């Protein structure tokens, strides 16, 4: 016979899977001897059994009755006793907190008879009738879905009649009668008078609430599995609404906003918890409580200290004082802001409560990323004009434009404001400082695309009524016209009129070397945890950088080299004309001349980058994109030539270019003539690049530097491609005097490279996973095309829990990575293996790469600290076996 019910004295916090978070923590407090009202927890097993069959498992209510009798014995009070009734609270509580999503029913046990007993025992008739009307209302709504508004209207009417002193007992008694009528009308039968029936119905309602639509939506958003089920906590009622010596409150052991030491909380005298939540009356601070009830206050401080020592972390609690007696109703490790997470973790180390390694597990790379964004100076901010969904973090200020073409053409910062966006808006989104829409959520086109490009975005600000044709939008009475300045906060979703001053992030300033680590507690905490991450991590962190300036920035941010230096960026700007000459070259002589002209500027670029990264590896990728990317686009040229022809003018050079572009046009350029294929088809191209690298390194050496270039071949799918490039490269390298030894390796960015990694490793000194392209080809999904077209729908339907371009897809792409690492190292044990796709800067992905045994990740410079932290955390998790993949 399985067991489903556990008294609080039987459990502990390690059993949250079975007892839910709330139940486990109640048990833990009971075990610590803290004043918790007697009660028991019905396990998640029972809920799962109920959800599977639609009815409670056999024997459950017998077990409940057994435990109930124990409580009755302990309190010497019985459920349904008309003279001195035991009242019960029934609360849900799953493994993971789902605030406000699940159900609670208080005052179980009241009926027409026991209400008078309660009145007698409490000496407060008003209180008794008020409790009864609360029960009828909560029970009706929770168990039978009766609408709350009807009850609320009646209550409001009574309150209005009663005036400042509040309703009399008589009035409340009448209200109960009215409530019972509403209940009967809405539910179809009378309010159940039998206290045990009330209890069992309440338990079933909590079970059923697991599958309510809002709970389901919440779980999908928070990625909580759907099959966990909830536990149900049944506890003797204590009352904070028995007069001025009663009350209820919430408290934190430290400030959850800043992490500052010292307790922090709110207290509401003469009230129940639901009154705090409803925000009907104003709370007072804890110091006030000290004045009202110093004994309870001191006891509360003692308990909070005990809990913090015990949990070794910030705790939040709910408590009630019933006629001067303190009761603990809940505790848990408290939520906190990113800043508080860092500050508290560092403090706990200082206080000797946790080790530096544990401190690393208390913060995440995602939190550090948030701390690096500039933020609005909220002391200078007006009331928000409206609030939408914070869809892509950051603080953006600019002039309103309602048209993407106008945004693309703007010369000063603009905020692109659209009802919703579509692919036509892309140029405008790229040009804008921020994007604001009135429709759609975190998975809308605007949100997905903006996050993809790191652009600040607020979505679904439904208060905005946008009339793009008239170039204006209205919010209530206020009309906002094109050209007006607004400020949008992509983290909070707030929209402000005018320019709100933006504060650079102190963490970012510290990381850039502009602030001293002692500057403030947050910076000091970040400094300390990053230092510890660096000390423990096994994963190296390099940066993706294509210019000396980026390289210097990356080095300041802690990069141990460059993992990806893209050479195509060196073919843009003034040099585009040289590339055009190369493409249009007729015959080897013209082609060689064009290549020769490209060599000196590239060499100069490499000299600068190698100088910035002196003594550290610099992985230089040979040219990757298709050459036609350096020519004007086909539709544009076609239109130009068509226009000239229609007008009878000479299209001139455009006609030549159009010929070349047509000849080189590719239906799917991502899968076309690029990367190593270019190198094998355009004679001399890769040789020129290799020579530029070798000559730059030689020049640096002669100048006394320690250049460490590495040459990386892109898009290899077969070992013979790499062997051919390697042969040619080694011939060139042998010709350059003073060049250092230059390792030659390859990107692993097409599935076939991963599948044949054992062969490829025979020709490669290193592998670098290009996870962007590897994701695109493994999923057969072009990021550019997909983010705007179907990713939104996929995220919404839960087909992706998160975009595979944000977090590495461990089951698909990750399987290829593991396979390639294993087979590559089997073939060449000294093989160095890194990753240089954007996933290299995503904390969850970094954890995956650490676990997969990579040597380093490489990411954009500003993500280097995030990767360092994530790598440190991953090292700690690996030793302790922690791995909460949610």
Please list the active-site residues.
445, 836
Cβ closest to a second copy, residue 531 vs residue 801:
801
Pairwise CA distance, residues 498 & 311, whole Å: 45
Smallest gap, in angstroms, from Cβ of residue 874 to a second copy? 23
Pairwise CA distance, residues 314 & 335, whole Å: 8
Residue 772 in marked binding region: yes
Cβ closest to a second copy, residue 284 vs residue 634:
634
Residue 538 in marked binding region: no
Residue 109 in marked binding region: no
- Scan for tokens 């949100």, then name that residue: 447
Residue 241 in marked binding region: no
Cβ closest to a second copy, residue 52 vs residue 639:
639
Cβ closest to a second copy, residue 48 vs residue 818:
818
Smallest gap, in angstroms, from Cβ of residue 811 to a second copy? 6
Residue 621 in marked binding region: yes
Residues within the interface to a second copy (CB under 8 A): 422-424, 634-636, 638-643, 645-647, 659, 662-673, 677, 680-681, 715, 717-718, 720-721, 724, 749-752, 755-756, 759, 773, 776-782, 784-786, 789-790, 793-794, 797-800, 809, 811-813, 815-816
Smallest gap, in angstroms, from Cβ of residue 213 to a second copy? 18
- Give me the residues paired with residue 266 across strands: 250, 285
The tokens for 595 are 């290549």
Smallest gap, in angstroms, from Cβ of residue 209 to a second copy? 25
- Scan for tokens 């906190």, then name that residue: 336
- DSSP assignment, residue 703? T
Cβ closest to a second copy, residue 102 vs residue 429:
429
Cβ closest to a second copy, residue 32 vs residue 670:
670
Cβ closest to a second copy, residue 489 vs residue 787:
787
Please say whether the dihedral angle defined by the alpha carbons of residues 647, 650, 652 and 658, taken in this order, is positive or negative.
positive
Pairwise CA distance, residues 86 & 109, whole Å: 7
Cβ closest to a second copy, residue 613 vs residue 622:
622
Smallest gap, in angstroms, from Cβ of residue 420 to a second copy? 13
Pairwise CA distance, residues 109 & 90, whole Å: 11
Residue 341 CA from chain centroid, whole number: 15
Cβ closest to a second copy, residue 299 vs residue 752:
752
- Which residues does 709 contact at the CB level (< 8 Å), separation at least 6? 606, 610, 617, 618, 619, 620, 693, 694, 696, 697, 740, 742
Smallest gap, in angstroms, from Cβ of residue 868 to a second copy? 30
Smallest gap, in angstroms, from Cβ of residue 426 to a second copy? 10
Contact 778, 750 (CB under 8 A): no
Smallest gap, in angstroms, from Cβ of residue 595 to a second copy? 18
Residue 10 in marked binding region: no
Question: E strands within 238-388?
Answer: 247-254, 261-269, 284-285, 315-322, 325-333, 375-376, 386-387
Residue-wise DSSP of 799-857: SSSS-TTTS--TTTHHHHHHHHHHHHHHH-TT-EEEE-SGGGG-HHHHHHHHHTT-SEE
Pairwise CA distance, residues 460 & 443, whole Å: 11
Smallest gap, in angstroms, from Cβ of residue 663 to a second copy? 5
Pairwise CA distance, residues 158 & 152, whole Å: 10
- Which residues does 470 contact at the CB level (< 8 Å), separation at least 6? none
Contact 578, 598 (CB under 8 A): yes
Pairwise CA distance, residues 153 & 174, whole Å: 14
Residue 653 in marked binding region: no
Smallest gap, in angstroms, from Cβ of residue 188 to a second copy? 32
End-to-end CA distance of the chain: 33
The tokens for 509 are 């300033």
Neighbours of 724 (CB within 10 A): 17
**C-alpha angle 200-204-206 in degrees, rounded to nearest 5:** 115
Residue 600: is it exposed, middle or buried by C-beta count within 10 angstroms (0-12/13-18/19+)? exposed
Smallest gap, in angstroms, from Cβ of residue 453 to a second copy? 15
- DSSP assignment, residue 471? T
Short-list 271, 243, 205, 234, CA closest to 26: 234
Residue 595: is it exposed, middle or buried by C-beta count within 10 angstroms (0-12/13-18/19+)? buried
Neighbours of 530 (CB within 10 A): 24
Pairwise CA distance, residues 489 & 389, whole Å: 10
Cβ closest to a second copy, residue 387 vs residue 641:
641
Pairwise CA distance, residues 307 & 314, whole Å: 9
The tokens for 280 are 């009907």
Neighbours of 253 (CB within 10 A): 27
Cβ closest to a second copy, residue 511 vs residue 795:
795
Residue numbers in the known binding site are 566, 621, 749, 770-773
Residue numbers in the known binding site for substrate are 566, 621, 749, 770-773
Residue numbers in the known binding site for Mg(2+) are 749, 773
């Amino acid at each position: 016979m399985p067991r489903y019910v556990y008294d609080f004295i039987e459990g502990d916090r390690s059993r949250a899977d079975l007892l839910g978070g709330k139940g486990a923590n109640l048990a833990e407090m009971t075990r610590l001897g803290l004043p918790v009202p007697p009660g028991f927890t019905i396990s998640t097993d029972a809920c799962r059994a109920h959800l599977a069959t639609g009815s409670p498992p056999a024997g459950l209510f017998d077990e409940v009755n057994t435990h109930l009798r124990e409580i009755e014995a302990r309190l010497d009070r019985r459920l349904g006793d008309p003279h001195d009734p035991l009242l019960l609270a029934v609360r849900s509580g799953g493994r993971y907190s789902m605030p406000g999503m699940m159900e609670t029913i208080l005052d179980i046990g009241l009926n027409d008879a026991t209400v008078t007993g309660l009145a007698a025992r409490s000496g407060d008739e008003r209180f008794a009738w008020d409790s009864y009307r609360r029960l009828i209302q909560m029970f009706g709504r929770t168990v039978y879905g009766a609408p709350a508004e009807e009850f609320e209207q009646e209550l409001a009417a009574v309150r209005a009649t009663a005036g400042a002193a509040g309703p009399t007992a008589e009035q409340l008694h009448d209200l109960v009668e009215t409530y019972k009528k509403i209940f009967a009308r809405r539910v179809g039968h009378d309010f159940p008078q039998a206290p045990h029936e009330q209890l069992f119905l309440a338990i079933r309602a909590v079970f059923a609430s697991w599958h309510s639509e809002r709970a389901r939506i919440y779980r999908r958003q928070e990625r909580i599995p759907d099959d966990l089920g909830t536990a149900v906590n049944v506890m003797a009622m204590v009352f904070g609404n028995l007069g001025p010596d009663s009350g209820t409150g919430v408290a934190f052991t430290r400030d959850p906003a800043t992490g500052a030491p010292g307790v922090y909380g709110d207290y509401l005298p003469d009230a129940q918890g639901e009154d705090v939540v409803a925000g009907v009356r104003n709370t007072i601070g804890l110091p006030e409580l000290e004045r009202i009830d110093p004994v309870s206050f001191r006891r509360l401080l003692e308990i909070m200290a005990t809990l913090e020592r015990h949990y070794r972390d910030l705790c939040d609690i709910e408590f009630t004082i019933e006629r001067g007696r303190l009761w603990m109703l809940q505790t848990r490790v408290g939520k906190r802001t990113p800043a508080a997470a860092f500050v508290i973790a560092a403090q706990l180390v200082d206080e000797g409560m946790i080790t530096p390694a544990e401190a690393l597990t208390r913060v995440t790379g995602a939190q550090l990323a948030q701390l690096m964004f500039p933020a609005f100076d909220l002391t200078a901010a007006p009331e928000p004009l409206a609030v939408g969904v914070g869809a892509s973090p950051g603080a953006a200020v600019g002039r309103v434009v309602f048209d993407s073409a106008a945004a693309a053409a703007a010369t000063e910062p603009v905020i692109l404001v659209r009802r919703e966006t579509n692919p036509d808006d892309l140029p405008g989104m790229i040009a804008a400082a921020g994007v604001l829409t009135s429709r759609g959520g975190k998975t809308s086109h605007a949100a997905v695309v903006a996050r993809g490009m790191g652009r600040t975005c607020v979505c679904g600000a439904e208060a905005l009524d946008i009339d793009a044709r008239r170039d204006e939008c209205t919010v209530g009475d206020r009309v906002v016209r094109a050209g007006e300045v607004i400020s949008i906060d992509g983290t909070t979703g707030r929209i402000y009129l005018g320019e709100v001053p933006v504060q650079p992030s102190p963490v970012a300033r510290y990381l850039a070397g502009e602030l001293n680590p002692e500057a403030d507690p947050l910076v000091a905490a970040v400094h300390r945890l990053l230092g510890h991450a660096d000390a423990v991590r096994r994963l190296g962190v390099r940066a993706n950088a294509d210019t000396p300036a980026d390289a210097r920035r990356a080095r300041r941010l802690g990069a141990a080299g460059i993992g990806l230096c893209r050479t195509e960026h060196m073919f843009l700007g003034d040099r585009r004309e040289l590339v055009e000459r190369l493409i249009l070259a007729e015959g080897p002589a013209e082609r060689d001349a064009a290549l020769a002209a490209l060599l000196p500027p590239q060499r100069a670029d490499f000299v600068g980058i190698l100088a910035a990264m002196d003594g550290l590896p610099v992985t230089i990728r040979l040219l990757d994109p298709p050459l036609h990317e350096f020519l004007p686009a086909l539709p544009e040229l076609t239109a130009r030539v068509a226009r000239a022809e229609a007008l009878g003018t000479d299209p001139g050079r455009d006609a030549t270019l159009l010929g070349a572009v047509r000849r080189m046009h590719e239906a799917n350029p991502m899968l076309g003539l690029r990367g190593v294929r270019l190198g094998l088809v355009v004679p001399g191209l890769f040789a020129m690049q290799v020579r530029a690298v070798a000559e730059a390194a030689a020049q640096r050496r002669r100048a006394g530097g320690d250049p460490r270039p590495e040459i990386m071949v892109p898009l290899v799918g077969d070992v013979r491609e790499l062997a051919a490039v390697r042969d040619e490269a080694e011939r060139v390298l042998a010709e350059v005097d003073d060049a250092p030894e230059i390792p030659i390796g390859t990107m692993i960015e097409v599935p076939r490279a991963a599948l044949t990694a054992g062969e490829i490793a025979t020709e490669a000194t290193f592998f670098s996973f290009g996870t962007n392209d590897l994701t695109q080809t493994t999923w057969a999904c072009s990021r550019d095309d997909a983010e705007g077209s179907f990713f939104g729908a996929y995220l919404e339907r839960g087909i992706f829990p998160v975009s595979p371009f944000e977090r590495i897809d461990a089951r698909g792409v990750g399987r290829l990575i593991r396979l390639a690492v294993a087979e590559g190292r089997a073939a060449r044990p000294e093989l160095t293996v890194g990753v240089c796709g954007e996933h290299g800067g995503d904390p969850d992905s970094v954890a995956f790469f650490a676990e997969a045994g990579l040597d380093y990740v490489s990411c954009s410079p500003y993500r280097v600290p995030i990767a360092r932290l994530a790598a440190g955390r991953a090292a700690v998790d690996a030793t302790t076996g922690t791995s909460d993949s949610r």
